[in-house]
Amino acid sequence: MTKGVGSRSYTGPVAKVLVQHVCTECGTASPRWLGKCPGCGAFGTLAEELHATADAAASLARSPTRLGDVSASEGERISTGVPELDRVLGGGIVPASLVLVGGEPGVGKSTLLLSALCAISKSRKALLISGEESAAQVSLRAARLGGAEAVGILAETDLGTVCATLEHERPAVCVIDSVQTLHASDLGSAPGSVAQVREAAGRLLRVAKQAGVATILVGHVTKDGAVAGPRVLEHLVDCVLQFEGDRYHAHRILRATKNRFGSTNELGVFEMTGAGLVGVPDPSELFGSTHPGEVGAAVGCALEGTRPLLLEIQALVSPTDLAMPRRVATGVDPKRLAMIVAVLGRHAGLALGSADVFVNVAGGVRIEEPGADLAIALAIASASRGAALRENAAAFGEIGLTGRLRAASQAERRLDECAKLGIQTVLAPSGTAPRDGLRVSAVETLRAAVQAGLDAQAG
Ligand SMILES: Nc1ncnc2c1ncn2[C@@H]1O[C@H](COP(=O)(O)OP(=O)(O)OP(=O)(O)O)[C@@H](O)[C@H]1O
Ligand SMILES: [Mg+2]
């Protein structure tokens, strides 16, 4: 609705607003402010409230569209040129979406995103807003990666300038490294403060949706691994990616912790090399090999999203005089480890009450899937008994508190992966269908699994 008033014209509906004073205790409304509420007699409880009049509210209303009439085209995701990143995003970046990438300092966030921009810039407009490094520093990294000539770079920290540039340039993809360095001059607080980060994310969200720019924000993480700044940042964006890795290992793992356009279970594996981050298309080969006859090592098959992953799990059991023996886990949830040790003691006759138990997953990988339980238990059993597990064997299955094994999801996928990597025997919960070319040894309980895993070696 457009109304002409004098020489100036206002666009949009003009709402007539009614001011009321409403008691916060009993809800009595009065047209003017009173010290004492006429309803309940309380003092100082009347607060001003704004109400739109009925016809003003009607003029504000808009008629909704039926979802069936909304036109949307699927399948126009932008490939980042980094297959592992595409996989975690659910098949590429969705245009005009907002992605947050978090990770420890030095894990390789800038490197990963610069190589994605390099590939994108070959067919579309790509822009890097760098608040942390100067253009010269970025160009040094770009020289190491190669192929970044067409990537636009702007070393800028002023939020207003960044938003205006995005609206003017309208790149297909823009990386902001990092959101904590952006500064809105109209807010008093320092860059990186909660108010600044929230303002920056909110404004970038509007620009991303209006100008159709797929925006990737780099976020710092706090000591305990959460993205620094308000939680609201994670709610605002469409997708949150976590980049993890040990600085002492060359391997880095990228996971989605939130994704509005794809699965959150997908996992990307990278290796940091002199020429940047290189995707590892077959991580099982890298992480899933043990030395034959080694005591305390087992191969587990965990499923991350749609991707089965063979992992070597190592355990050490050593006698201790401590009143509270240690249970130390790297890559495994400590509570899960405590549970597995307890079930081993109670239902598989493996008393570990006076021993320290250490468990480590090879390659700095962290496993969250319960399907890896059986392999962890077998590694501990092997270490405790001092006997190696069967050669060329892998295991998967969830351990229940009763000592019974629960069927793991997508068993065929896991078996396929085992067969692909030359595994001969697989210990799996009973009910797992056999597969050609593999000896599937179906076991019902943890006790039976420990026996099957260890005794065959002796026999
Ligand atoms: N020439 C090189 N060869 C191998 N690895 C390198 C080389 N140069 C840098 N790196 C690796 O790259 C990592 C730094 O990557 P990058 O700057 O992308 O991290 P970041 O996550 O952006 O860090 P920050 O949070 O500090 O910005 C270093 O930890 C180092 O391991
Ligand atoms: Mg960086």
- Determine the pLDDT at residue 7: 46
Q: Is 234 helix (H, G, I), strand (E, B) or coil?
A: helix
Position in ligand 1 atom list of the atom nearest CA 103: 21
- Determine the pLDDT at residue 433: 86
Least confident of 19-28, 163-172, 369-378: 19-28
Query: How many A from CA of 259 to the centre of ligand 1?
Result: 26
Answer yes or no: are the C-beta atoms of 423 and 285 closer than 8 Å.
no
pTM of the model as a whole: 0.73
Answer yes or no: are the C-beta atoms of 191 and 182 closer than 8 Å.
yes
Question: Considering every ligand atom, which ligand is closest to the CA of 176?
Answer: 2
Question: Considering every ligand atom, which ligand is closest to the CA of 130?
Answer: 2
C-beta of 110 in contact with ligand 1 (< 6 A) = yes
Rg of the chain taking only CA atoms, in angstroms: 29
Question: Considering every ligand atom, which ligand is closest to the CA of 105?
Answer: 1
Smallest CA-to-CA distance from 176 within 124, 223, 213 is with 213
Which residues, listed in sequence order, are joined to residue 27 by a DSSP beta bridge?
none
HSE (side-chain half, CA atoms, 13 Å) at 230? 15
Position in ligand 1 atom list of the atom nearest CA 220: 25
- Determine the pLDDT at residue 319: 94
Position in ligand 1 atom list of the atom nearest CA 107: 21
- Determine the pLDDT at residue 58: 74
- Determine the pLDDT at residue 228: 60
More confident residue, 5 or 409: 409
- Percent of the chain with pLDDT strictly greater than 70: 90
Q: What angle do CA 95, 262, 123 make, to 5 degrees?
A: 30
Query: How many A from CA of 376 to the centre of ligand 2?
Result: 36
pLDDT digits (tens, 9 = 90+) for 424-436: 899 999 988 888 8
Judge whether residue 13 has pLDDT over 60.
no
What's the rounded Cα separation, in Å, for the pair 88 and 97?
A: 15
DSSP alpha helices (H): ranges in 266-410?
283-287, 334-347, 373-385
pLDDT digits (tens, 9 = 90+) for 276-320: 888 888 887 777 777 788 899 999 998 876 678 888 999 999 999
Judge whether residue 342 has pLDDT over 90.
yes
- Determine the pLDDT at residue 372: 92
Determine if residue 386 is left, alpha or beta; phi over 0 gives left, psi from -120 to 50 gives alpha, anything else beta: left
Judge whether residue 12 has pLDDT over 50.
yes
Least confident of 45-54, 191-200, 234-243, 443-452: 45-54
Judge whether residue 3 has pLDDT over 70.
no
Judge whether residue 22 has pLDDT over 90.
no
Smallest CA-to-CA distance from 328 within 358, 308, 351, 303 is with 358
Answer yes or no: are the C-beta atoms of 387 and 325 closer than 8 Å.
no
DSSP alpha helices (H): ranges in 318-424?
334-347, 373-385, 411-420
- How many other C-beta atoms lie within 10 A of the C-beta of residue 152? 15
**Strands lying side by side in the sheet with 46-52:** 29-30, 17-23, 46-52
Tokens of 428: 């799996």
- What average pLDDT does range 353-374 have in this prediction? 89
- Determine the pLDDT at residue 338: 95
- Determine the pLDDT at residue 67: 85
- Determine the pLDDT at residue 274: 82
- Determine the pLDDT at residue 225: 57
pLDDT bin (cut points 50, 70, 90) of residue 248 is low
Q: Is 431 helix (H, G, I), strand (E, B) or coil?
A: coil
pLDDT digits (tens, 9 = 90+) for 88-136: 998 899 999 999 998 888 889 999 999 999 999 999 999 999 999 999 9
- Determine the pLDDT at residue 6: 43
**Strands lying side by side in the sheet with 152-155:** 152-155, 126-130, 173-177, 214-220, 98-103, 239-245, 251-259, 267-273, 276-279
C-beta of 105 in contact with ligand 1 (< 6 A) = yes
- Determine the pLDDT at residue 11: 56
- Percent of the chain with pLDDT strictly greater than 90: 45
pLDDT digits (tens, 9 = 90+) for 393-439: 999 999 999 999 998 888 888 998 888 888 889 999 998 888 888 89
Q: Rounded to whole angstroms, what are the CA distances from 318 to 173, 315, 353?
A: 53, 10, 11
pLDDT bin (cut points 50, 70, 90) of residue 226 is low
Name which residue sits closest to atom 29 of ligand 1, judged by CA. Answer: 106
- Determine the pLDDT at residue 432: 87
Query: How many A from CA of 270 to the centre of ligand 2?
Result: 17
What one-letter code names the amino acid at 446?
Answer: L
Judge whether residue 208 has pLDDT over 70.
yes
Q: Count each helix (H run) and each strand (E run) in the chain, helices first.
A: 12, 23
- What average pLDDT does range 150-167 have in this prediction? 93
List Cβ neighbours of 362 (8 Å cut-off, separation of 6 or more): 287, 311, 312, 313, 314
- If one residue of 101, 109, 118, 220 were mutated to test the ligand 1 pocket, choosing by the most ligand atoms within 8 A of its CB, it would be 109
- Determine the pLDDT at residue 164: 94
